[in-house]
Structure 1
């Protein structure tokens, strides 16, 4: 089972199947570490690395699925948890929205009307 696991295959699995897969990889990792200590040589290093990465992939998919479920719960709500919000940069998060940028005061509207470019039609 120490071959590289495909993330696409993991995404198709349910949460229970992912937990079972994770347990299998952890058990395999434990066995490999025992074999490594028993043999005295570093012959199992590459396999241990592959299994650890597979565990990381499974955990990543589990976390992503859990976050997607929470995101679905908060869809359409006014407030969402900070860890689910869009990161961007601090400046972008605080920037005015296009609607706020387009707003003008009454005084600005009057000035715009007064100083508008006048179009004249010339008789031929």
Structure 2
């Protein structure tokens, strides 16, 4: 059984060579299955297939990480590196596009700004009654 954290430390050439070995082993196991090999070999097919899948996954993840690094400072990203989200969300306007205003809107806001209102407070005298409880003070 292969540990994935060990696979992540290996280089691409090492991963490809390991993949080749695993595929060769799988073909031998399949031959053994047809010829009526030992039961332990038949049960090993599942383990080898899983190992192949793990190696392929690590290879693809490394490739994707390298691509992300390569396209980090570029203006446009390839479709498979963009966030998936939903179709509707992808078609939404960006924050910048939403904030844009027409010339007419800008002029209207400039000439008729929102009014600010203030409330005039007159000084009220507060009478404290002797009989009132303390929390009313």
TM range (shorter): 0.7 to 0.9
Deviations 1:64-122 (A, max 9, x none): 11122222222211122222222211111111111221222343342586372431241
| Equivalent in 33, 55, 60 of residue 58 of structure 1 | 55
Is the aligned partner of 1:69 residue 2:66?
A: yes
Is the aligned partner of 1:120 residue 2:105?
A: no
5+ residue gaps, structure 1: none
CA distance 1:50–1:113, shift in 2 (3 Å): farther
- Aligned pairs, how many? 121
Deviates further, 31-40 or 103-112: 103-112
**Which gives a bigger RCO, structure 1 or 2 (Cα 8 Å, sep 6+)?**
1
5+ residue gaps, structure 2: 123-137
Post-superposition offset of 1:42: 6.2
Post-superposition offset of 1:44: 3.6
For 1:21 and 1:41, the matched residues in 2 are separated by 24
Aligned twin of 1:89: 86
C-alpha RMSD of matched pairs (Å):
2.4
Could you say which structure has the larger radius of gyration?
A: 2
TM-score computed with the length of structure 2 as normaliser = 0.73
Aligned twin of 2:16: 19
| Equivalent in 18, 27, 30 of residue 27 of structure 2 | 30
